[in-house]
Chain A
Amino acid sequence: MPSTIRLDIVSTERELFSGECAMVIAPGVMGELGIMPRHSPLVTRLKPGEVRAELPQGGEETFYISGGILEVQPHVVTILSDTGNRAEDLDEAAALAAQEQAERMLADRGSDIDEARARAELAQAAAQLQAIRRLRNRR
């Protein structure tokens, strides 16, 4: 009977941990879970909190996660960790911010075009000025 279980912790941005463990302790939404080798298959959501991995040679590794999914297969535990701070209302706020930015972009269409026109006029004026100066020097 194997005395260790493989643990992989991955987040969208990178892999956080991959290795053998004697036991994994994770904060499930329904309560803290301790997973040992040959645990029955399980899928659960995780709360923000600490994941502790007890290493077979003693000692432990601790990771802070801000939520995610835990999947247990007979010999592998996978934690799909969220990155950053995720909460329903924070997501909502982010969505609103993105919408606002789109609206703002649409709203200041006028000023942007004005700016482009002003810049074009400025460039023209500068070119004329330069031409006049050159003519003067030639005389």
Chain B
Amino acid sequence: MAGAKEIRTKIKSVQNTQKITRAMEMVAASKMRKAQERMREARPYAERMRSVIAHVSAANSEYRHPFLVARDEVKRVGFIIVSSDRGLCGGLNNNLFRQAVRELDRWRSEKVESDFCVIGNKGGVFFRRLGVNLLASTAHVGDAPTVDALVGTVKVMLDAYSEGRVDRVFFIYNKFVNSMTQSPVVEQLLPRLPSDEDEVRHRWDYLYEPDARDVLDHLLNRYIESLVYQGVVENIASEQAARMVAMKAASDNAGGLIDDLQLQYNKARQASITQELSEIVGGAAAL
């Protein structure tokens, strides 16, 4: 009978695929929860840091750190881009890259060239193919990234800024809105834009050791690093959420495919039985 056996093998293979996508869905769900936890844990540091910086810079208004001063003329901009190391997470990376390319084109139309630092494997591959000026890249930061793993890439960009090779630094990553929504965002990292949260409620006259300038330099470096770290963690949570959704869709599709195949199989089986029966009846009639 045409295909009954082949259909059965096909069903088997789709079932196997479905098992894998189901497993991946569950793994992604648990990793997403862990990443969300990490996002939450990283928050206090950045908040404390922001309040200390606000205090210190309010108390030392005469010293303006270059990270806080906007430059009038923008000749070159830098991008730090966070992407995932692995695929199978729907359109997450592509949406992000599209956003980045749009930014790049926007600056290009104003005759401003761009430099890139890329975190994550997918971004490295994409931007290499795009042929942009890649200053640094880090890949395989894993599901539980450490600040250590990111320091190098961030430092390259901060140095470029300090030395005046770039006049603005943007940070592009996927913001984790909820498990169904992740949206690529472009944030200006340097110079740091003052925000409402920088409002100082109480003002202390600090003692500084060794001096205010040294402390502020140190603080700002760490602050930028912590922002990047947070973005990376958020991107990981987004990646897992996107993968979870993509794998759920894949499992559902596999289910639909199995139903169709099952129907085909039943039809084929029935047809073969009918044929056999009619052969027997025909044979009996001939006698």
| Chain A residue, CB-CB nearest to B155 | A95
Task: Evaluate contact between B222 and A80: CB separation under 8 angstroms.
Answer: yes
Task: Evaluate contact between A10 and B136: CB separation under 8 angstroms.
Answer: no
Task: Evaluate contact between A41 and B52: CB separation under 8 angstroms.
Answer: no
Task: Evaluate contact between B208 and A44: CB separation under 8 angstroms.
Answer: yes
**A135 is an interface residue with CB less than 8 A from chain B:** no
Rounded to whole angstroms, the CA-CA distance of A40 and B208 in the bound complex is: 11
**B279 is an interface residue with CB less than 8 A from chain A:** no
Within 8 Å by CB of A12, from B42, B118, B153, B204, lies B42
By secondary structure, the B interface counts as: helix
Within 8 Å by CB of B136, from A69, A83, A85, A98, lies A98
**B226 is an interface residue with CB less than 8 A from chain A:** yes
**B48 is an interface residue with CB less than 8 A from chain A:** yes
Q: A28-B209, A42-B206, A94-B148 are in contact. Are A10 and B44 (CB under 8 A)?
A: yes
B200 to chain A, nearest CB (A): 12
Which of A92, A97, A105 has the most chain B CB atoms closer than 10 A to its own CB?
Answer: A105
Q: Which residues of A contact B212 (CB under 8 A)?
A: 43
Within 39-98 of A, Cβ neighbours of B (below 8 Å) are at 40-45, 68-69, 71, 73-74, 78, 80, 82-86, 91-98
| Chain A residue, CB-CB nearest to B138 | A98
**B45 is an interface residue with CB less than 8 A from chain A:** yes
Rounded to whole angstroms, the CA-CA distance of A71 and B155 in the bound complex is: 25
Mark contacts of A1-43 with chain B using CB atoms, 8 A cut-off: 1 yes-contact digit, 0 otherwise: 0000000101111110000000000001110000000001111
Within 100-138 of B, Cβ neighbours of A (below 8 Å) are at 117-118, 124, 128, 134-138
| Chain A residue, CB-CB nearest to B124 | A105
Within 8 Å by CB of A105, from B41, B42, B128, B226, lies B128
Task: Evaluate contact between B137 and A105: CB separation under 8 angstroms.
Answer: yes
Q: Which residues of B contact A40 (CB under 8 A)?
A: 207
B41 to chain A, nearest CB (A): 4
Rounded to whole angstroms, the CA-CA distance of A10 and B42 in the bound complex is: 9
Task: Evaluate contact between B137 and A102: CB separation under 8 angstroms.
Answer: yes
Rounded to whole angstroms, the CA-CA distance of A69 and B207 in the bound complex is: 13
A-B contact pairs, 7 of them (CB 8 A): A12-B226, A15-B44, A30-B210, A68-B222, A80-B52, A94-B151, A105-B134
Please give the residue numbers on chain B whose beta carbons come within 8 Å of chain A beta carbons, in ascending order. 38, 41-42, 44-45, 48-49, 52, 55-56, 117-118, 124, 128, 134-139, 146-148, 151-153, 155-156, 159, 202, 204-210, 212, 214-215, 218-219, 222, 225-226, 229
